[in-house]
Structure 1
Amino acid sequence: MEIKTLKAREVLDSRGNPTVEVEIELTDGAKARGISPSGASTGEKEAVELRDNDTKRYNGKGVETAVNQLNQEVALEATAVRLESQQDFDHFLIELDGTENKSRLGANAILAASIAYARASAHSKGIPLYRQLIDREGYIMPVPCMNVINGGRHADNNLDFQEFMIAPHNAPSFKESIRMGEEVFHALRTLLKSKGYYTGVGDEGGFAPNLKSNDEAMDVILEAIHKAGYQPGNDISVCIDPATSEMWRNGRYVFYKSDQRSVSSEELIALWDKWIKQYPIVLIEDGLGENDWQGWKKMTAALGSKIELVGDDIFCTNPAIIAEGIKEGIGNSVLIKLNQIGTITETLEAVRLAQEHNYNCFISHRSGETEDTTIADLVVATNAGHIKTGSGCRSERIAKFNQLLRIEEELGNNTSFAGLKTFKV
């Protein structure tokens, strides 16, 4: 179906910063919107967001340039070509941009258009978005890995590690899993408050207290799991994303928010090994930095048979980089972020490549999110088995959980819940 109109506008993300929304109408009247998210802790090789850098507007973060290019150049070209598929549209956008990293049109602009086209195509066919992305017989509902304590660049506190997540996996359904997670989230708030800690939240909805140490974050989470009536490890396990690329300084890792100590790759691997033995950890994302490939090889050899090791900054949802990582034996799982690569088609290619080589895929939001729920449909479409989209509060996070509840209800007996078997343990 051909594009009748393409309209872009500047809207706001969850941090109050501008982002790009695109609305597409097809010639049969089907219409849909897509919005691009934005990250704070970003990989060096991510596709480029196009910002205005005009300090008189939004502190330089405006996206009027991207919007104007969409409304003028892209809209004119898109309505003049015949498109047969999502792949056609996405390749049209990539060729029109003409750069390796999408820096001319901007990955934020390209992704918003790609999502809008996918949604409009689904509406045109009268099918849900997950089926438009991948049509299969049976779908798997994901474990929600909920970011209950924030640190690093996602919070103004003293925790070096960015995300402490709970994974409620011992459940018969997504609906029951999310209930378990929310109960722990609220138990954690009560617990933190009783200890005299701050219970405000960070960028992704997790609590952002000043704790005595990174270890205390783990301890208080386990206490909250018990308080909610569950068994750590049996019912609910823990995942962490320390975002170590942010700690990388001249070949070492600096605990830049706490005691300023510096450690080697080997010492950080030893810390993760100690934590795995001490805590019910099933997943570590970015356990080492994006430029520490030799360290990643050592970490994979030491820990890859014990837990899921997810590469985020090191892979950037880029099929070419993922292929190199697979060849080099880096990790055993890939974080999937739509805006790291910039189109639906390239994202699905990254997922296919990873899954074909027995790597897990961990579908992810960004810290600057919106009400767009595409990743909820994406995690179901790909049968990835686990998703992170923030904590147990903030509507831009809950929107994804609510969409997954709707999808599970719609699928009925044609779905199952991933549970603990989704993790590389």
Structure 2
Amino acid sequence: MNIKKLLGYQVLDSRGRPTVAVTITLSDGSLHTARVPSGASTGAHEARELRDAGTTKAESFYAGKSVYSAVENINSKIAPKLLGHSLNLAAIDGLLVEVDPTPGHQVIGANATLATSLAVAKAAAHASGKSLVRYFQPEGALLLPMPMVNILSGGAHANRSLDIQDVLVVPHAASNFAEALSWIVAIRERAASDGKAHGVTHLVADEGGLGLSFPTTDDACEFVLSQIEELGLSGKVSLALDIASTQFFADHKYSLTTSGQVYSPDQFVEEILDLVTTYPISSIEDPFAEDDWASWSAFAASAPAHLQILGDDLFTTNLHRLERGIAEKSANAILIKANQNGLLTSTHRVLDHAHANNFATVVSARSGETEDSWLADIATSWRAQQIKVGSTHGSERTAKWNRLLELEATEETEFARPFKAL
């Protein structure tokens, strides 16, 4: 079975912004479509997402955010190379690198390469008579990942209602995925209700979290912990924080807008250490800026042994940055986002290298998601142990949760519990 037709076109993500889709028609007449996500809080070292701002293709209706250039690259540069090609994902990803060998796919766009790579994977799974999850893991029990889920959102996702990006929960004591998700739903719904009862207006953030305003991170943590306690889940559900500190790092200082406090890097290391020793926090993401390597290493040397120190902007699913982080002992976990990388095979390579070096891995969605559920399949088949999709509201989020519920109901599975020591 081979590729008869490959077509790129523009669709919308969950924020109503353009993104790239690719549909592959195979020689058996079947169609296979993949849509790629896009981020709002993006690291400087991510693969390049090609948009039309500053080009003749930019249209006023999308304020330069259209992706017609990336689509044209798919149809004029990628498709001719792939027509008639057999469905070997590694070989096709290699061809995409030949089309654009620049770092980060700067010429044709990482949104163009990833959409193609994903569509090929879906088509290859069909050709082999398997689901996507079983294409990557043909046999054996599937490892369903532990969910890490937004309750409160701020930063770039919620008009800076909080200085940090997210306060999340981890149902670390749940015995299966369905139970884990039910606990999270209860916490999120109670938080929304409690906010209304206190007369607090809120917005629903890009990823479905609640945009409740709190003057400090401590206040936000205490609010979520109160919801956990009222539900009788204390000791069973821990907190996770996404600091996204690159967003408020400038002139070698960390400047918090809501609280008005300004910290030197050394002072901010102490501030974060105080935070993680005060509250039941199992994971902290991007506590320091993406190029403040010294603060990352200083914090990691003093942090509690149980703490997951998770690099997103620090690593951007980039093998070379991960290797530096391993060498400098900057963190012990990496967020895996396929669109930071641009190809499925090289994204998988980064994840495997992390596992080989005893790093935890968290497969993650983006703020601009689509209704596709492929993220759940790769997180499971790649045995990532953790998944971060956003909250429990919005069909672009529930599509991933529902796929994991489906896998638990229909496949042989086990449930990852990476925080057993808590």
Which band: TM-score by shorter chain? over 0.9
1:116-146 deviations in Å (ceiling 9; x for gaps): 1101111111211112123352221111111
Other-structure match for 2:100? 97
Q: Residues 317 and 350 of structure 1 are in contact (CA less than 8 Å); yes or no, is this contact kept in structure 2?
A: yes
Q: CA deviation at 1:22?
A: 0.3
Other-structure match for 1:279? 279
Q: Residues 238 and 281 of structure 2 are in contact (CA less than 8 Å); yes or no, is this contact kept in structure 1?
A: yes
Identical pairs, percent: 36
Other-structure match for 1:124? 127
Other-structure match for 1:388? 388
Superposed, 1:172-251 pairs within 5 Å as 172-231=175-234, 234-251=235-252
User: What's the secondary structure of 2:6's corresponding residue?
Assistant: strand
CA RMSD, Structure 1 to Structure 2 (Å): 1.6
Query: What one-letter code is carried by the residue in structure 1 that aligns with 2:96?
Result: L
Other-structure match for 2:366? 366
Q: Residues 145 and 380 of structure 2 are in contact (CA less than 8 Å); yes or no, is this contact kept in structure 1?
A: yes
Whole-angstrom distance in 2 between the partners of 1:186 and 1:343: 36
Other-structure match for 1:141? 144
Q: Deviating runs (4+, > 3 A) in structure 1?
A: 422-425
Q: Residues 290 and 313 of structure 2 are in contact (CA less than 8 Å); yes or no, is this contact kept in structure 1?
A: yes
Query: What one-letter code is carried by the residue in structure 1 that aligns with 2:244?
Result: A
Whole-angstrom distance in 2 between the partners of 1:202 and 1:63: 24
> 2:166 aligned with 1:168, yes or no?
no
Change in 2 beyond 3 A, CA 1:84/1:205: closer
Q: TM-score by structure 2 length?
A: 0.95
Whole-angstrom distance in 1 between the partners of 2:192 and 2:367: 21
Change in 2 beyond 3 A, CA 1:301/1:424: farther
Query: What one-letter code is carried by the residue in structure 1 that aligns with 2:101?
Result: G
Q: Residues 137 and 381 of structure 2 are in contact (CA less than 8 Å); yes or no, is this contact kept in structure 1?
A: yes
1:378-422 deviations in Å (ceiling 9; x for gaps): 1101211111101121111111101111111121xx321112x34
Q: CA deviation at 1:75?
A: 1.2
1:264-291 deviations in Å (ceiling 9; x for gaps): 2222222222222221100001011111
Q: Residues 407 and 413 of structure 2 are in contact (CA less than 8 Å); yes or no, is this contact kept in structure 1?
A: no
Whole-angstrom distance in 2 between the partners of 1:276 and 1:101: 34
Selected match of 1:418 from 397, 402, 416 = 416
> 2:67 aligned with 1:69, yes or no?
no
Whole-angstrom distance in 1 between the partners of 2:352 and 2:396: 27
User: Is there any run of 5+ residues in structure 1 with no aligned partner, and where?
Assistant: none
Q: Residues 148 and 168 of structure 2 are in contact (CA less than 8 Å); yes or no, is this contact kept in structure 1?
A: yes
Whole-angstrom distance in 2 between the partners of 1:239 and 1:210: 18
Q: TM-score by structure 1 length?
A: 0.95
Q: Residues 46 and 341 of structure 2 are in contact (CA less than 8 Å); yes or no, is this contact kept in structure 1?
A: yes
Q: Residues 308 and 423 of structure 1 are in contact (CA less than 8 Å); yes or no, is this contact kept in structure 2?
A: no
Other-structure match for 1:253? 254
Whole-angstrom distance in 2 between the partners of 1:137 and 1:267: 48
Query: What one-letter code is carried by the residue in structure 2 that aligns with 1:399?
Result: A
1:343-382 deviations in Å (ceiling 9; x for gaps): 1101100010000000000110111111111111111012
Query: What one-letter code is carried by the residue in structure 2 that aligns with 1:143?
Result: M
Q: Residues 2 and 27 of structure 2 are in contact (CA less than 8 Å); yes or no, is this contact kept in structure 1?
A: yes
Query: What one-letter code is carried by the residue in structure 1 that aligns with 2:215?
Result: K
User: Is there any run of 5+ residues in structure 2 with no aligned partner, and where?
Assistant: none
User: What's the secondary structure of 1:268's corresponding residue?
Assistant: helix
1:301-346 deviations in Å (ceiling 9; x for gaps): 1116230001111111011221121112120001000100011101
Whole-angstrom distance in 1 between the partners of 2:109 and 2:348: 20
